[in-house]
Each structure stands twice: as C-alpha cells, then as structure tokens.
Amino acid sequence: MVFSSLIFLFAYLPAVLLLYYITPRKGKNLILFVVSLFFYAWGEPIYVLLMLLSITLAYLFGLLIGEYRKENPRRAKLFTVLSVCISLSFLLFFKYYNFFALNLSRVPMVNIPTIAGLALPIGISFYTFQIISYTVDVFRKDCAVQKNYINFGAYVTLFPQLIAGPIVRYTEIDEQLTHRRESAREFATGVFRFVVGLSKKVLIGDALAAGFVYFQDSLSVSPSVAGAWLTVILYSLHLYYDFSGYSDMAIGLGHMLGFSFPENFNYPYVAKSITEFWRRWHISLSSWFREYVYIPLGGNRVGTFKRYRNLAIVWLLTGFWHGADWNFVLWGVYFAVIIITERAFLLHLLEKLPRAVGHLYSLFLIGVGFLIFSHHDLRVAFSTFLALFGVGTDGFISSTGLYTLIRQAPLILISAIGATPLPKQLWERAQAKHPRLQAVAVALCILLFGVCVAYLVDSTFSPFEYTQF
C-alpha cells in the first residue's frame, strides 16, 4: 500500500484517523502499532514476521544494554554489538546475499548457489537503521531505555515513515511517543503538507518520469545530444519530486498524528557544491551515516589520510545501502571521489568563483551521478554520458524528440522553478501583505487533492522510487 493509492486515501487513512482520535491517550500507541503492522502486511504479509522479530530482539537488547551500561559497560557494549550485528545480518541476507553469491561464483572454483525468489522486504533498509540508532543511543546514554514494548514497536513501525523514511532516530522522537499533543492547527498543517507531497508525486513526478522514459528509450533507437541531456535532466527532477513528495507526505501524516519528523530535503538543486548538495538531499540518511559511521571512525578529529578514508567508507556504504548492484557501488565511489576532492582543495576554489559557476558545476555532477544511479547496465550509462557530448549520436535532436520536448518544456520549467525556494518565498511575502490569502491556500489544497485523485483514477500504478531500497 502506497500513499498515492486510492485505497490508502479513501479507506486506510480515514479509518486510521478515526480509530486514532476516538482512542484514549493511553491506547493511541497501540493503535499506531497495530495499524502500522497492517499497513506493512498489506504488501509484505510474510515479512511482517521478520520485522516483528527485529523489533523484539532490539527491544530485549535495549533492556539488557540499559541494565548493564552503568555497572558493566563492557557487557553493555557486547550486547550493543550483538544487536547491531543481528539487525545488519537480516539486511545483509535479504538485500545482498544473491548479489555476493552471483559475483563470487564468477571466481574460478567458487560456486555459491543463489536463492530463487529471495525478495527484499519493503522498508528493511530504513527500519534497520532506526533500530540500530536506538540500541546505539541507549548504549551512549543519549536516551532512556524504552521499557514499553508497544511504544518501541510504534516507533519502529510508524507507518508514515516506515517504507521510505525519513529515517527518524529514536532521540528525535522518544519524547513524542508519550508526550505529543494533537491540535486542529497541527492537523491542518499536516493535511496541507500531505497534499503538497501528493501533488509533487502525482502531478509532477510521474509526468517527468514519462518524459524520462521516452527520451531514454529514444537513445537506443536514435541517440541524440538533446535526448541524452533531457534524460539526465528529467530523471534528476523526477527523482526529486518523487522522493521529496514522499517525504512531504510522511511528514504531513506525522503532523496529523501529533508527531514532528525531521526534514529530509532543503532545496538540494540550489547547492553550489556537492558537499552542500548532500547536506540538502536525503538529510536523514546523510546525518545517520555521519552520526553512526563517520564520527565513530574518528570523523574530522583524525589526520588527513584517515579523514579521507572515513569519507570513502561512508560513501561506499551509502552507495551500497541503496541497492545490491554495481551501479550503486560506482555511484558511491563517484561521490566519494568528488567530496574528498572538494575537501582537499576544490571547495576553497569554488568559493572564489561566481555563484553561477558553483551551481552549474553542482548540477552537472549531480546529473551524472543520477545517470549512474538510474542505470543498472553501466554500458548504457556510459554511452548516455558520451552522448551528452555528441559521441555516438545521430545529431542534436530528432523531429519526434523536438515535438516531445516542446510538449515537456512547460513542465520542465515549472518543476525547475518549483525545486528552488522562490515559490515559497513569494507565497510567504504575499501572505504577509494579504492575510486573507489563507482561505486561498485552503481552496488550493482542495483543488490539488481533487486533481490528484482524478489522475489516480485514470492512471496506472506508479510506486515511489525509494520504496525499492
């Protein structure tokens, strides 16, 4: 079940909100736990047992760590390591076993059988990281031990962020599990944020995806320079609207239930360097790796070589986290090289250049990165990269490509402007001058929701990109 499905919008969500708000305070987390398990079981009826096992083990380890972290830190550390290793073992097996088996079997005299039908449990990459954050934070004494199993289960399974984030660390939500306060204003804020996210996904993200598919397919028939550039541009915009749209919907649902989740995007395409881009894109993942991998490895407190080594490890893991395929590994290495180069000298140089140069530099490298990200066949990715510069093409653009570009141009322009802070800034200025515009916002919200529903009724199923990770 995905947020942009009719069954979620008109059956599941209304039922959940009704149950949640008629339930007394003490029972709300139980309701959230149960309905979130149902939400997960809708698409993964078997793997909900795996998630429950992960939750139960982490809960028990949390109790043990809390018991020993003061009197016997070594034993507490052992339980922490065991908890992290067990959680990671589930992720490694389901996500990476066949990848390693297939690639290692190419080595002479090595034959590791693959497991047919081994599916990736939805959301396992996200909820595994949340579980790890809890046990590590308990060991560090950054948070109190959660002794209520229902509360802990609600934290891990909370359906708004279960499938594709944001990755909510336990310390960011522990107080809210027991002391949140719902209000009409908070609920209205959540509804508006949800509808904005739904619109980004359905009205813009899916339309950009259709253009991307067209130009990507055209490259195999009649490769052109414009086709290659449009493939990169359309996919980059599509992924932003698809993923940030999901994050907006998740954050909005959180507000409806009285929760405040961390932001996951901050206009990443206005970045003037790749380092800045990754402070604005998938913020919860970047901050997780910084907190639980980069800093424990020594962070910036070590010498230059080790600092760059730590960055390389983080980015290799970041690439691998996204999927068990060589394009994700290369994607991680690609950004590792760029960020290490920026840390070494390039950031200092970029600061001296005009801002426009930094923007163009960043947009180009981001686009190339997503070119690698979107192609499991690296040969196709490489040929598309060469086509950007006219290598192996039949010309600048075909006649059908030009026609499609003319049709797509307004959408590309609108989505490009929408990916900047400009629309929000203009709206806030207008509201400051004309407070009655709040009524316009309500009408616009209703209109957007109606248009989205009309599109959903008339379109085929289109899942969110990041649910596959």
Catalytic site positions? 322
Two structure tokens written together for 238: 């599509």
| 336-342: long-range contacts, CB 8 A cutoff, minimum separation 24 | 336/311, 336/312, 338/274, 338/365, 339/274, 339/275, 339/278, 339/311, 339/315, 340/308, 340/311, 340/312, 342/273, 342/274, 342/275
CA distance 54 to 76: 19
Beta-carbon contacts of residue 145 (< 8 Å; ≥ 6 apart) = 62, 63, 65, 66, 138
Could you tell me how many residues make up the chain?
Answer: 469
AA identity, residue 147:
K
Identify the sign of the CA torsion 307, 92, 278, 360. Answer: positive
- With 0-12 / 13-18 / 19 or more C-beta atoms within 10 angstroms meaning exposed / middle / buried, residue 14 is exposed
Biggest alpha carbon–alpha carbon distance for the chain: 75
| Residue pointed to by tokens 């009205």 | 203
> What's the token pair of residue 276?
């800045």
